[in-house]
Amino acid sequence: MEEKPTIDSLIKKVKEYDPQTDLEMIRLAYDFAAEAHKGQIRKSGEPYIIHPLATAHILADMRIDPLIVITALLHDVPEDTTVTLEEIEKNFGSEIASMVRGITKLGKLKYRGVERYIENLRKMFVAMAEDIRVMIIKFADRIHNLQTLDSLPPQKQYRIALESLEIYAPIANRLGMSEFKGQLEDLSFQYIYPKEYERTKKIRDEKLKGKETYLKSIQQIAEQELKEANIQIISIDGRNKKLYSIYQKLLRKENDAAQIYDLAAIRIVVPTIADCYAVLGILHKIWKPLKGRIKDYISQPKPNGYQSLHTTIFSDSGETIEFQIRTPEMHDDAEYGIAAHWHYDEQGSRLPSKDVRWTKELAIIQKEILNRLSDLDEIKIDFLQSRIFVFTPKGDVVDLPENATPVDFAYHIHTEVGNKCNGAKINDQMVSLDTELKNGDVVDIIIDKTRKGPSQDWLKFVKTHTAKNHIENYLKNQQQSKITDWFKYVLPKK
Ligand code: MN
């Protein structure tokens, strides 16, 4: 990114990938946010508006949907200023307002004990399930905060960096957003493990010393051979492995730097899958491949969906170098993951922001993250119950423990909805009230206003404390009022 991000350079950036978009709207959003944040100063001493502006730039660098860029400009307005969400909605419409609402719901990082923390984490997953774009903005927001972490007190630096490394980066990874994941990791790394950071940097620099010229020559030879074979090269460039990945690998390889082969890689993007395999064949004809280092992630993608061909070859001087070969679609997916669906030159194929498919993935990620946190003794085990995400007919997300039933859902919505609950539909099918809900179910509660209250039998199958407490309280009150009725009956009237 350029030294000082400005609104003009932002508009120029967006115009390059989406000339049709309403560029005036981006300027309006900037003016609106700048006015709202007027007089506010960041810890670094800069005017506050620098932060949302930089966040928008990070997203525009991904060539992302301008609607998301606009939302990024507005993302801190309701939380930090007197301007309300209603005013944002009036000026920028309901879609942008709803994303800003999602970010505001996530809240600022305020650490107030483990339980509150887990609660915030849960909120984050619900907000993600509601609209994954909110999380994409949150990542960019966090990246800029990490870039400017130096102006905060050390304790705060550590906490923000640790959260980024332990929670945000793994989520970005699971969503396939390796570009964001890499940035989150490397920016946090130096604050969490400063000594290891310096050491890893030294190892990398030493291994890379003098490599640049021969990397260039390898790249030129490859380019020449591919041209002769009539393979169109969309791009070919060298790429250094990120520091935190090197560190992780050193840990796995017992600190043996000699075992790290992919410190520098050459990435080749070609039009089709057939081209990818052709390139692999040509490279192996020029150089000898290293045994066991040929990886076909095209026919067998990684769990997060990553696709590419990898091979490590011996150069003539005996050095090793990795090649990564992929199509443009694989490249976008690898860099941007889920965000690629709002990325330009995807021929406008956009996914709905609420997509049941993500909820399954999100439930797995949530479980993983909570399991990691369970290493901290302070965290009580009942927080770690597996959770599922289900939807109201309007599309709002509710998270519940696994095996929860429509009655749990009803009490989660409102006590009265629980008490008057008389039946339920799951995905438009009538079901019995003890049916176990599954991830992504759309649940519609049928209410009978004349119903007196919950049934004792429900206690046999409800899973949440909320539902159980409400039912028990209601039944207890019932008994009490029966007693009062009885007293009224037996005691002589005055
Ligand atoms: Mn922010």
Q: Which is catalytic among the residues 79, 196, 346, 436?
A: 79
* Mean pLDDT, residues 188-203 taken together: 93
Higher pLDDT, 185 or 212: 185
Question: Where do we find the tokens 């291994």?
Answer: 207
User: Over 50: is that where the pLDDT of 352 sits?
Assistant: no
User: Over 60: is that where the pLDDT of 128 sits?
Assistant: yes
Q: Ligand 1 mean position to 53 CA, how many Å?
A: 10
Q: Ligand 1 mean position to 135 CA, how many Å?
A: 12
CA–CA distance from 199 to each of 203, 246, 254, 304, 311 (Å)? 6, 11, 14, 30, 27
Higher pLDDT, 214 or 467: 467
User: Over 60: is that where the pLDDT of 109 sits?
Assistant: no
Q: Ligand 1 mean position to 14 CA, how many Å?
A: 20
Residue pLDDT, tens place only, 303-350: 777 899 999 998 887 788 899 999 998 998 888 877 776 665 544 444
User: Over 80: is that where the pLDDT of 493 sits?
Assistant: no
Residue 286 and residue 221 in contact, taking contact as beta carbons nearer than 8 Å: yes
Residue 3 is predicted with a pLDDT of 63
Higher pLDDT, 476 or 281: 281
Question: Where do we find the tokens 């001493």?
Answer: 45
Is residue 436 part of the annotated active site? The answer reads no
User: Over 60: is that where the pLDDT of 1 sits?
Assistant: no
Task: Give me the sign of the Cα torsion angle 49, 12, 70, 148.
Answer: negative
Please give the model's pTM, rounded to 2 decimal places.
0.75
Architecture of the domain delimited by 386-490: Roll (3.10)
Is residue 130 part of the annotated active site? The answer reads no
Complete DSSP assignment for 79-114: HHSS--HHHHHHHH-HHHHHHHHHHHHH-------H
Residue 350 is predicted with a pLDDT of 45
Tell me if residue 312 falls in helix, strand or coil.
strand
Q: Ligand 1 mean position to 201 CA, how many Å?
A: 30
How many CB atoms are closer than 10 A to CB 66? Answer: 25
Domains 7-192 and 386-490 share a fold: no
Residue 235 and residue 205 in contact, taking contact as beta carbons nearer than 8 Å: no
Tell me the C-alpha distance between 341 and 429, whole Å. 31
Q: Ligand 1 mean position to 139 CA, how many Å?
A: 10
Residue 111 is predicted with a pLDDT of 54
Residue 110 is predicted with a pLDDT of 55
Residue pLDDT, tens place only, 403-426: 899 999 999 999 999 999 999 999
Q: Ligand 1 mean position to 85 CA, how many Å?
A: 16
Q: Ligand 1 mean position to 140 CA, how many Å?
A: 9
User: Over 70: is that where the pLDDT of 489 sits?
Assistant: no
Q: Ligand 1 mean position to 52 CA, how many Å?
A: 6
Residue pLDDT, tens place only, 77-97: 998 899 999 999 999 999 999
Average pLDDT over the chain, rounded to an integer: 85
Domain 199-342 belongs to what topology?
Beta Polymerase; domain 2 (3.30.460)
How many CB atoms are closer than 10 A to CB 451? Answer: 12
Tell me the C-alpha distance between 13 and 8, whole Å. 9
User: Over 90: is that where the pLDDT of 2 sits?
Assistant: no
CA–CA distance from 443 to each of 127, 143, 394, 405, 407 (Å)? 18, 37, 10, 10, 10
CA 392 to chain centroid, in Å, comes to 22
Residue 481 and residue 453 in contact, taking contact as beta carbons nearer than 8 Å: no
Res. 445 pLDDT band, cuts 50 70 90: very high
Residue 397 is predicted with a pLDDT of 78
Q: Which is catalytic among the residues 8, 24, 46, 80?
A: 80
Tell me the C-alpha distance between 466 and 258, whole Å. 56
- Name the CA radius of gyration of the chain, rounded: 28
Which class is 7-192 in CATH? mainly alpha
Residue 80 is predicted with a pLDDT of 86
Res. 207 pLDDT band, cuts 50 70 90: confident
Q: Ligand 1 mean position to 31 CA, how many Å?
A: 17
User: Over 90: is that where the pLDDT of 258 sits?
Assistant: no
CB-proximal residues (5 Å) to ion ligand 1: 76, 141
Residue 308 is predicted with a pLDDT of 95
Residue 77 and residue 103 in contact, taking contact as beta carbons nearer than 8 Å: no
Residue 63 is predicted with a pLDDT of 87
> What is the helix (H) or strand (E) element at residue 313, kind and residue range?
strand 309-314
Residue pLDDT, tens place only, 367-404: 777 776 666 554 444 454 567 888 888 777 788 888 89
Q: Ligand 1 mean position to 51 CA, how many Å?
A: 7
Percent of the chain scored above 70 by pLDDT? 87
Q: Ligand 1 mean position to 64 CA, how many Å?
A: 18
Q: Where are the domains of the chain?
A: 7-192, 199-342, 386-490
Residue 376 is predicted with a pLDDT of 54
Q: Ligand 1 mean position to 392 CA, how many Å?
A: 29
User: Over 90: is that where the pLDDT of 460 sits?
Assistant: yes
How is the beta sheet containing 429-431 ordered, strand by strand?
A: 429-431, 421-426, 443-447
User: Over 90: is that where the pLDDT of 40 sits?
Assistant: yes
